[in-house]
Amino acid sequence: MADSAQAQKLVYLVTGGCGFLGEHVVRMLLQREPRLGELRVFDRHLGPWLEELKTGPVRVTAIQGDVTEAHEVAAAVAGAHVVIHTAGLVDVFGRASPETIHEVNVQGTRNVIEACVQTGTQFLVYTSSMEVVGPNTKGHPFYRGNEDTLYEAVHRHPYPCSKALAERLVLEANGREVHGGLPLVTCALRPTGIYGEGHQIMRDFYRQGLRLGGWLFRAIPASVEHGRVYVGNVAWMHVLAARELERRAALMGGQVYFCYDGSPYKSYEDFNMEFLGPCGLQLVGARPLLPYWVLVFLAALNALLQWLLRPLVLYVPLLNPYTLAVASTTFTVSTDKAQRHFGYEPLFSWEDSRTRTILWVQAAGSSAQ
Ligand SMILES: NC(=O)c1ccc[n+]([C@@H]2O[C@H](COP(=O)([O-])OP(=O)(O)OC[C@H]3O[C@@H](n4cnc5c(N)ncnc54)[C@H](O)[C@@H]3O)[C@@H](O)[C@H]2O)c1
Ligand SMILES: C[C@@H](CO)CCC[C@@H](C)[C@H]1CC[C@H]2[C@@H]3[C@H](O)C=C4C[C@@H](O)CC[C@]4(C)[C@H]3CC[C@]12C
């Protein structure tokens, strides 16, 4: 990526490139990265939609692989200029064991870093999460905070623990010498709750509302702010960060950035209604219909049932003590660090993000995808 080789075409690798966020990153790179020569899409499960991308001017290489297998990762990374590591096991519902979550999110990330070092890949962007910071186990609010806001980040749940460890590995790897003698340059992006086309929980809420005759019932007070960011803007931020890492290595290397855009500050349920409302659903109640202690009880009961039933069947309700804590603790960001460091501006306005999401919910809710 030297200046003398302006016309050089670059090889990008996106791990987890077939996931919700990964697919948007892949499509965004193809649309918005003029220096892209080859795009490698690495995922445990490859999506059929990749086929249509193979007919375009950029070489798209689909690689079925597992980030926990160091040799598979090394083979995929070899010869890449930039890695966007977005693969991860996103599980706050108790589907996977804590060991599996750790293996994929922490060991997988270690494998990606080591592959960069061994093969001489110099630029690594990691998809971290707001949950590296909070909400913490004490339920402290994080109200429109930024990357420098002091907050007691204490976790017990395997998912935030794994994301925090993985993020630390990525940041500590900044400056390590890669094969060929150049320094590794890394940064981590921390999305809040991502929404947009492909957001399965949103689709599930829509279907649930339809089953209940068009009604959803408020469980969380409207005053609890939950940070949300549009998937297209998160993808754009990844593309821009990856592009600028070389030019601004000294400034960006080893840094973290919250992902943000113009999405309004609202409670989790009120925010979802921005999309589900125009799709015909109504949220019942200006206040939660059940007292908070009842939700706490139900969440604990769900956790107990999950544990008791585990030998027989996997019981994975939406509500558990952890998801209740995340949904009912204020956590929102207000920052311009990405703008200051690498010129990020959201590509999609709130109106665009909203319209695109509504159209997707309508289509996804009525089809069997
Ligand atoms: N969804 C959110 O609200 C959110 C918010 C903050 C951060 N994140 C982070 O963004 C990233 C992407 O999340 P997402 O919501 O798109 O999840 P997702 O589950 O839709 O995508 C993850 C992708 O990683 C792949 N993957 C999982 N294990 C793998 C393995 N062992 N080897 C190779 N590929 C593997 C999956 O097949 C999937 O395609 C994750 O790292 C997640 O922690 C997500
Ligand atoms: C109490 C219920 C009444 O309607 C609502 C429960 C909603 C929860 C299932 C979700 C509330 C907040 C979500 C999380 C948040 O948006 C951020 C996340 C970070 C990311 O790294 C992974 C996904 C998630 C943990 C996301 C998961 C679902 C919620 C807990």
Split at pLDDT 50, 70, 90, the class of 364 is: confident
Percent of the chain with pLDDT over 90: 93
* Ligand nearest to C-alpha 108: 1
Distance, in Å, from the CA atom of 120 to the CA atom of 104, rounded to the nearest integer, reads 23
Number of domains in the chain: 1
Mutation to probe ligand 2, out of 157, 326, 331, 333 (largest number of atoms < 8 A from CB): 326
Catalytic residues: 159
Q: Is 320 a member of any domain? A: no
The CATH number assigned to the domain holding 175 equals 3.40.50.720
Distance, in Å, from the CA atom of 98 to the CA atom of 158, rounded to the nearest integer, reads 5
The backbone torsions φ and ψ at residue 127, rounded to the nearest 5 degrees and listed phi first, read -85, 105
Split at pLDDT 50, 70, 90, the class of 369 is: very low
Q: Is 124 a member of any domain? A: yes
- Cα R_g (the chain), whole angstroms: 21
Distance 307 CA to ligand 2 centre (A): 21
Regarding an ipTM greater than 0.90, the answer is yes
| Burial class (CB within 10 angstroms; exposed 0-12, middle 13-18, buried 19+) of 216 | buried
Ligand 1 touching residue 195 (CB < 6 A): no
Ligand 1 touching residue 226 (CB < 6 A): no
Q: Is 15 a member of any domain? A: yes
Distance 177 CA to ligand 2 centre (A): 38
* Ligand nearest to C-alpha 20: 1
User: Which pLDDT value is given to residue 136?
Assistant: 84
DSSP character string of 254-285 = TEEEE---SPPPB-HHHHHHHHHTTTT-EEE-
Q: Is 16 a member of any domain? A: yes
Ligand 1 touching residue 135 (CB < 6 A): no
Q: Is 292 a member of any domain? A: no
The pLDDT tens digits for 289-329 are 999 999 999 999 999 999 999 999 999 999 999 999 999 99
Helix (H, G, I), strand (E, B) or coil at 232: helix
The residue segments making up the domain with residue 91 are: 10-200+227-264+331-348
User: Is the separation of the CB atoms in 215 and 41 below 8 Å?
Assistant: no
User: Which pLDDT value is given to residue 7?
Assistant: 65
**Residue (of 278, 288, 286, 282) closest to 215 by Cα position:** 282
Cα distances from 228 to residues 61, 272, 354, in angstroms, run 32, 10, 12
User: Which pLDDT value is given to residue 6?
Assistant: 53
The pLDDT tens digits for 243-280 are 999 999 999 999 999 999 999 999 999 999 999 999 99
Q: Is 39 a member of any domain? A: yes
Q: Is 280 a member of any domain? A: no
Q: Is 303 a member of any domain? A: no
What average pLDDT does range 64-83 have in this prediction?
Answer: 98
Q: Check whether 5 has a pLDDT greater than 60.
A: no
What average pLDDT does range 187-206 have in this prediction?
Answer: 96
Ligand 1 touching residue 108 (CB < 6 A): yes
Say which amino acid occupies 24: H
Split at pLDDT 50, 70, 90, the class of 365 is: confident
* Ligand nearest to C-alpha 226: 2
User: Which pLDDT value is given to residue 154?
Assistant: 86
Ligand 2 touching residue 256 (CB < 6 A): no
